[in-house]
Amino acid sequence: MFFMMKTVYHMRSCIENTVQLRNAVFNSQKLYRIIRALISYMSIKLLALFQAICKLYYHHLYVLE
């Protein structure tokens, strides 16, 4: 009887650990997707800023000539 209780407890512990691992993997994938989306968004914004700076710079060059 004791062995059976110990086995059931061990199985329950393994299931809980598996669920926790699955949740951790899911959360890390979700976090990865959020970070990837933020990086993509910031890349677009930085590219637009760089283009605006280049336009201002070239406009400044043409005005000074």
pLDDT in tens, 12-40: 888 888 888 888 888 888 888 888 898 88
* The total number of structural domains that make up the chain: 1
Phi, psi of 32 (to 5 degrees): -60, -45
**Entry pTM:** 0.54
**Confidence check: pLDDT of 11 > 60:** yes
Range of the domain at 35: 1-64
Buried b (16+ CB within 10 A) or exposed e, 31-63: eeeeeeeeeeeeeeeeeeeeeeeeeeeeeeeee
For residue 1, pLDDT over 70 is answered with no
Range 42-48 average pLDDT:
89
Average pLDDT, the chain: 82
Structure confidence at residue 3 as a pLDDT band (50, 70, 90): low
